[in-house]
Amino acid sequence: MTARRLVALAVILLSAAGAQAEDGYELWLRYRPVSDPAVRRSYRASITGVAIEGSSPTLRAAREEAVRGLRGLLGADIPFVPGVAQDGLLVAGTPARSSLVAAADLGADLGRTGEEGFVIRSTRVAGKRSTVIAANTDAGVLYGVFRFLQLLQTHQPIQSLALVEAPRIRHRVLNHWDNLDRTVERGYAGFSLWDWHKLPDYVDPRVTDYARANASIGVNGAVLTNVNANATSLLPEYLAKASALAAVLRPWGIRVYLTARFSAPVEIGGLKTADPLAPEVAAWWKRKADEIYALIPDFGGFLVKANSEGQPGPQDYGRTHADGANVLADAVAPHGGIVMWRAFVYSNEVPDDRAKQAWNEFTPLDGAFRPNVLVQVKNGPIDFQPREPFHPLFGAMPKTPLMMEFQITQEYLGFATHLVYLAPLFEEVLRADTRSKGEDSTVARVVDGSLHGYARTGIAGVANVGTDRNWCGSAFRLGPCPHVRRDRRRMDPPDVRERPRPRVSGEGDDARLAGGGGGLHDPARAPPPDGRGPSLRPRPLGQPGAAGRLDLRLLPPGRRERHRLRSDRRRQQRGLPVLPAGGGGLRQPRQSAGEAPALVPPRELGPAHGLGPLALGGSGAPLLRWRRVRAPHAGHLERARRPG
């Protein structure tokens, strides 16, 4: 082998190693060394030791995360110290478990943080300059550690910190539409993370990384099973499997929930009815709840889809949604559990307009639900459409806690193949004013309970994670996995009404996606920040060197046309716009009358910050391959809508 070939082989192997290292698995928790030498030196001078007192599983998780993060970001091991002997100590804990935190005298601030909030303050402990992360609970300490590491990742000054943060929403839950055979409804990212066949004896280590990622943004609940429920998940052998998952998620502050099939008393309980007002049915659900809590003491409760798309429910017995929810609520109430009863009631048996069916069925029941029931309402009245108004139930049920349900998986937005930034869609809904109690009666204030005084609050996202290495199933998501928005609003979504501003993704996804460099890689620019890989900028169709595309000019005319037609058919099957052979705009693939258009005009046109000029701003904007390298404008969209 010649020297030239050896050099070429070495370059290929090194490039492959680099590509493997940047595969998206670590998401925003990459903890690459701070790229600015001056900032890194400043951080090292400010953090000379770490003291996290306490031995609970959650505090151990916080300690391990601090070690991992500081070692990666500062490029040095920061020692753990038993006491205050020098300046620059990072102290974390609760006043009840840590004498150092108690000595910081942060009681006034901690009175504002509740159970899951935290305080990060630059102060003096025993006369030494220190940074204290204090909370009332171990989970709050964990959230505070993640927040402090985020400050380092984004190169924020840490010499004079005075942060007091607390979530306004109590239940922050991911809904996994995962089946017991590990298929995932609307998943698009491989199989389910929950390997039911190997549980409870073996739990995939990925579950821990899943928990870390969720804890870092304040998610505190996971519904393990599909809303189109299978009663088998409530059998003893499957409850033992769920218990094994709960044991892994618990140290990270995450409770598990299960979906309850309403007909379970008949299907697995041996009863002849599932009528919620039948005493034997209520007794069966109570026994089942007791059985679950014996295995999972911190079980969150049930999520229920009933009398919708063929699912059984209380209306099968002439009862109301309140009757059905209350029988489950009574079963879990002694254990502190909740019931999330979905308001998505799309039933062919009811001759009603789909957009108003939930209104007709739920508004008469306002005030009829038990206190531990939350009615879970989709953001819009149809079904997670790219563009639809906010759901009319928000603001219409002042006596019943309503929790928001967003769809994070892109069922109507290109599956896992289109680049869509969902944050503007979510913010638009939360900022919408219901006017139910005058001006500023926003959906956000309904969800956080401040408008109607809800005692319980919640928000849910239909998750998009799976066994794909990058979690979300698309090369476009190597890091900005849309199941979260990583920024200071991660635990406090209602403040969108208080700080309106342009959507800048760099604040949320920040340096984690650019090797710690402080900004996202713009796909429209070359080379990338680290200079190691090719530009992601697309080239015109057929241009020599265009990644992944054959140079059609090298083919004979007949083969050229056949190749183009095969390509068009493949794009149509995937629901993508068809690139025409000649000039002009994009053609839409042929669609049936019931299918939604593949390209949805966004609310605003313009480049999305941090995503390059080829990404349309606003919600519902896929990344398209334009024939010419230029930013799209309204004319492109208009041509794309024409039949072709």
| Lowest mean pLDDT segment, chosen from 299-308, 444-453, 467-476 | 467-476
Q: Is the pLDDT of residue 514 over 90?
A: no
Q: Is residue 280 located within the same domain as residue 357?
A: yes
Domain annotation covers residue 464 = yes
Q: Is residue 119 located within the same domain as residue 98?
A: yes
Give the integer Cα–Cα distance in Å for 15 and 127. 51
Q: Is the pLDDT of residue 630 over 50?
A: no
Q: Is the pLDDT of residue 455 over 60?
A: yes
Domain annotation covers residue 281 = yes
Return the higher-pLDDT residue of 560 and 271.
271
- Give the model confidence (pLDDT) of 544-565 as tens digits: 333 334 444 444 555 555 544 5
What range defines the domain where residue 118 resides? 22-165
Cis peptide upstream of residue 392 (ω within 30 degrees of 0):
no
What pLDDT is attached to residue 12?
A: 62
Q: Is the pLDDT of residue 610 over 50?
A: no
Q: Is residue 115 located within the same domain as residue 183?
A: no
Helix residue ranges per DSSP H, 299-415:
321-332, 354-362
What pLDDT is attached to residue 585?
A: 37
Task: Using DSSP, state whether 462 is helix, strand or coil.
Answer: strand
Mean pLDDT of all residues belonging to the chain: 79
Contact (CB, 8 A) for 241 and 196: yes
**Number of domains composing the chain:** 3
Give the integer Cα–Cα distance in Å for 105 and 108. 8
What pLDDT is attached to residue 352?
A: 75
Q: Is residue 161 located within the same domain as residue 209?
A: no
Return the closest-CA partner of residue 478 out of 466, 469, 487. Answer: 469
Give the integer Cα–Cα distance in Å for 345 and 354. 8
Residues 6+ apart with CB under 8 A from 408: 174, 422, 461, 462, 463, 464, 482, 483
End-to-end Cα, the chain, rounded Å: 54
Question: Pick from 165, 196, 224: which residue ends a domain?
Answer: 165
Bridge partners of residue 222, in order along the sequence: 174, 256
The residue-averaged pLDDT of 630-644 equals 43
Return the higher-pLDDT residue of 497 and 254.
254
Give the integer Cα–Cα distance in Å for 162 and 112. 13
Catalytic residue IDs: 309, 383, 411
Domain annotation covers residue 559 = yes
The residue-averaged pLDDT of 172-200 equals 95
What pLDDT is attached to residue 516?
A: 35
Domain annotation covers residue 13 = no
Question: Pick from 436, 459, 484: which residue ends a domain?
Answer: 484
Go through the chain and tell me how many residues it has.
644
- Give the model confidence (pLDDT) of 377-397 as tens digits: 999 999 999 889 999 999 999
pTM of the prediction? 0.76
Return the closest-CA partner of residue 168 out of 451, 377, 479, 546. Answer: 451
What pLDDT is attached to residue 596?
A: 35
CATH number at residue 226: 3.20.20.80
